[in-house]
Amino acid sequence: MALAAVPLILLGAGASTFLLAAAAFVAGVASEFFTVVWETVHNTHVPERLLSRVGAHDEFWSFVPVPIGQLSTPALAAAFGTAAVAVTGGGVAAVVMLVPLLVPSLRRIEINRNGET
């Protein structure tokens, strides 16, 4: 998912339209791959009785930062410039998306093909 931040960084760096489009395509492919893996792990490792609750928390905590970013970006852009905000925001997003890799159990999550978790 950290690849999803690359187009924002490139936008702030003043990349060409072609490079932005290519980066957005790669980010979209990576995002869809992540979505398939995430849903598979979610539906395999979360007990059926908790699927709705876990899914609700997943959605809620995934979208809480969106309005915060939308409300703070104009003020930050006025203070630091749009390019700096785009590059910094993309960098912060990439780092935040890589933080879960610090958890060993998340790096080695497995799916048993016999239907057992």
User: What are the distances in angstroms from CA 84 to CA 8, 79, 81, 94, 110?
Assistant: 11, 10, 6, 15, 39
Residue 77: predicted pLDDT: 96
Q: What is the pTM of this model?
A: 0.80
Residue 109: predicted pLDDT: 81
Q: What tens digit of pLDDT does each residue of 28-74 get?
A: 999 999 999 889 888 888 999 999 999 999 999 989 989 999 999 99
Domain ranges within the chain, ordered by starting residue: 2-106
Distance CA 31, CA 15 (A): 21
Are 44 and 111 spatial neighbours (Cβ–Cβ below 8 Å)?
A: yes
Compute how many other C-beta atoms are within 10 angstroms of the C-beta atom of residue 84. Answer: 13
Q: What tens digit of pLDDT does each residue of 67-104 get?
A: 999 999 999 999 999 999 999 999 999 999 999 889 98
* Residue that the structure tokens 């609700």 belong to: 56
Distance CA 4, CA 92 (A): 12
